[in-house]
Amino acid sequence: MIKRLLLLMIGLFLTIFPAQAQDQCGVVTGISYPVDRGVFTLAQDFGVESPRHQGRYHTGEDLFGGRDASLGQPVRAIAAGQVTYSAPNGWGRDGGVVIIQHTFPDGSIAYSQYGHMQELNDYRFPPRYGCVKQGDIVGAVGNARPAPHIHFEIRINQPDVPGPGYSWEDPTVLGWRQPDRFVENWNAWLHPAHRWHLELAGDANLTAPPLVLSDGSTAYLDGTRLRFATPDGRVLWRLNLTQPALAITEFESAPLLTYPDGTMQRVNFDGSPGESWATGTPLESQPITAGELLIFHGPGNALIALGADRKTVVWQLADVPSIIRAYAAPNLIGLITEDHQLLSLSLDGRLLDTAQLQDEGSLTGALGGNLLAYTQGGLWRIDDSGTWGVALDNAPSGGKNSAALEAPDGTLYVFTEAEQSLNAYGVDGTPLWQVALPDVTGRAGLALYDKVLLLTTDMGTITAVQAEGGAVCAATRLYGDARSRLWQQLGADGILRIASAGSITGFDWQTFIGGCG
């Protein structure tokens, strides 16, 4: 009787003071998926329209481990938190539901929901208002329609009510979040090197690379808003735009917006609009910066170069298909088009050479101000006349998701998707070392900072490797999306800024690379 009375008093206290109870459950220090993603795959994505539910949008992710391997498998709490709902019949014939409230180091709160579950002898639902740790079992996969699976949600609303599973409106507007984006980003944001992060509204993707100014402040586009953040990642102001901007670049040390109709708009540092002007030509793409020029793809497959004044069209080149990769070296510009042509251009807009590639390939700078092209056929140098030459005999086959870099001392580094390895070669082509990187996915890029190689991909891979010897210094992963190319920059303040999909993250570089520095 006394024990029962004590439990009732504790339950009443937790009901009246849920915030205090959550504090007792601790702040999140680690995060993972509720099931093994090596076994369970995505059966129905977040935000997709469901024909089985009159076209409503899916508010979570359905994870399925195979028809004979899902039923009865344990489901685990993704992170530490307080259970706010726990009912074996929460969804009636569609199974039980558990909801957990999580407090993150930045003070934000989110709720994870696990649906279509059942209780088994060894896999019991946790008590409501109780605390769970990351990895604690909260139930087992139940026998839900059309096949056993776990419905996994992340949201910032409805702390103790099972979600409907589907909504007539965009679920991000209603407070739901894309679960794999949430888990992968927070896994990176819990890294000891994390200093700050900026997120776009809902689950939007960055439409243009951010602009980092000399003091470390950051301007970035968020739909029809321009946001300006301080060097330590705090949003200082927001400017509502009349239409989505195409790009944000620097002009006379201040932000400059480019609109698809060719209008240029200066922005003052207090967030007010400045001078605007028309270039007289529509523009379609992100710009390529080549010296003082900004080069855009325009309507009718025209390539358009704006001069240093950002008003004058310096040159145009006709019949250039849409561009999927570009690199501007001091001596020439390399473009890879959607039909896999590699175009070499002079800085004054002359077409020097056209080569047909088997696959997308990648581009970077070479010593002497020229280009390196890494293709399925090998690693090539392209000089200022557009002439190709072999950069590395017997180079591993390159392609869409491969990358190369030439260090100032002539050492060549190549990451090859086919072999899933990073390789180093001496000036004479002698192999120096090789390191396997089996978990790297997406279009890759290489940079060299402080004798440390940084490998990044548009699917969110961030890996630091010692340039001498190939030791892996550190690795993490943000949520990536091939529609939003990953962008990175190491600032003079020692902060590595990474823009991936819908977030910009600042990592302390020396902390990230640890003993490799």
| Residue 299: both structure tokens together | 């309507």
- Tell me which of 7-21, 205-219, 441-455 is least confident: 7-21
Instruction: Give the separation between CA 179 and CA 185, rounded to whole angstroms.
Output: 10
In the prediction, which pLDDT does 19 show? 42
Q: Using the 8-state DSSP alphabet, how is residue 481 labeled?
A: B
Q: Which domain holds residue 59?
A: 21-179
Q: Give 364's contacts (C-beta < 8 A, 6+ positions apart).
A: 327, 371, 372, 374, 403, 404, 405, 406, 445, 446
Q: Does the residue 420 lie in any domain?
A: yes
The CB density around residue 70, as the number of other CB atoms within 10 Å, is 24
pLDDT in tens, 118-154: 999 989 999 999 999 999 999 999 998 889 999 999 9
CB-neighbour burial class of residue 391 (10 A; exposed 0-12, middle 13-18, buried 19+) = buried
Q: Does the residue 373 lie in any domain?
A: no
The answer to whether the CB of 391 falls within 8 A of the CB of 380 is: yes
Q: What CATH number corresponds to the domain at position 63?
A: 2.70.70.10
Q: Does the residue 238 lie in any domain?
A: no
Residue with tokens 């090596």: 38
In the prediction, which pLDDT does 6 show? 40
Give rounded-to-5 percent helix, strand, coil for the chain.
10, 45, 45
- Do residues 47 and 107 both lie within one domain? yes
- Do residues 92 and 197 both lie within one domain? no
Q: Does the residue 311 lie in any domain?
A: no
Domains of the chain: total = 2
Q: Does the residue 278 lie in any domain?
A: no
The answer to whether the CB of 254 falls within 8 A of the CB of 268 is: yes
- Do residues 137 and 195 both lie within one domain? no
Q: What are phi and psi of 236, to 5 degrees?
A: -90, -40
- Do residues 48 and 168 both lie within one domain? yes
How far CA 55 is from CA of 50, 115, 423, in Å, comes to 5, 20, 49
Q: Does the residue 252 lie in any domain?
A: no
The DSSP bridge partners found for residue 220 are 227
Which of 157, 179, 201 corresponds to the end of one domain? 179
Of the candidates 48, 150, 153, the residue with the CA atom closest to the CA atom of residue 95 = 150
- Do residues 429 and 499 both lie within one domain? yes
Average pLDDT over residues 358-366: 93
pLDDT in tens, 251-291: 999 999 999 999 999 999 999 999 999 999 999 999 999 99
DSSP secondary structure of 47-80: T-EEGGGTTEEE-SEEEE--TTTSTT-EEE-SSS
Q: Does the residue 222 lie in any domain?
A: no
In the prediction, which pLDDT does 4 show? 40
Instruction: Give the separation between CA 505 and CA 324, rounded to whole angstroms.
Output: 24
In the prediction, which pLDDT does 12 show? 42
**Predicted confidence band of residue 481 (pLDDT cuts 50, 70, 90):** confident
- Do residues 111 and 195 both lie within one domain? no
Q: Give the rounded percent of residues in the chain with a pLDDT score beyond 70.
A: 95
- Do residues 130 and 159 both lie within one domain? yes
- Do residues 201 and 171 both lie within one domain? no
Average pLDDT over residues 367-389: 96
In the prediction, which pLDDT does 23 show? 66
Question: Using omega within 30 degrees of 0 as the cis cutoff, is the peptide bond preceding 146 cis?
Answer: yes
| Residue 76: both structure tokens together | 């685990």
CB-neighbour burial class of residue 215 (10 A; exposed 0-12, middle 13-18, buried 19+) = exposed
Instruction: Give the separation between CA 151 and CA 139, rounded to whole angstroms.
Output: 12
State the pTM of this model: 0.91
Q: Cα 155 to chain center, whole Å? A: 20
In the prediction, which pLDDT does 69 show? 86
| Residue 290: both structure tokens together | 């080549």
- Do residues 172 and 55 both lie within one domain? yes
Q: What are phi and psi of 402, to 5 degrees?
A: -115, 165
| CB half-sphere exposure, 431, CA atoms < 13 A | 9
Which of 179, 199, 229 corresponds to the end of one domain? 179
Rg (CA), the chain: 26
7 pLDDT higher than 90: no
Q: What CATH number corresponds to the domain at position 507?
A: 2.40.128.630
DSSP secondary structure of 320-343: -PPEEEEEE-SS-EEEEETT-EEE
Q: 345 vs 207, which has greater pLDDT?
A: 345
The rounded mean pLDDT for the chain is 92
- Do residues 164 and 201 both lie within one domain? no
Instruction: Give the separation between CA 270 and CA 228, rounded to whole angstroms.
Output: 9
Instruction: Give the separation between CA 259 and CA 181, rounded to whole angstroms.
Output: 29
- Do residues 195 and 63 both lie within one domain? no
Q: SS3 of 462, please?
A: strand
- Do residues 174 and 31 both lie within one domain? yes
**Predicted confidence band of residue 517 (pLDDT cuts 50, 70, 90):** low
Which of 129, 158, 179 corresponds to the end of one domain? 179
Q: Does the residue 61 lie in any domain?
A: yes
Of the candidates 140, 98, 94, the residue with the CA atom closest to the CA atom of residue 119 = 140
The answer to whether the CB of 200 falls within 8 A of the CB of 500 is: no
168 pLDDT higher than 70: yes
Q: Mark residue 284 as left, alpha or beta (left: phi above 0; alpha: psi -120 to 50; beta: remaining).
A: alpha
Q: Give the rounded percent of residues in the chain with a pLDDT score beyond 90.
A: 84
Instruction: Give the separation between CA 319 and CA 43, rounded to whole angstroms.
Output: 42
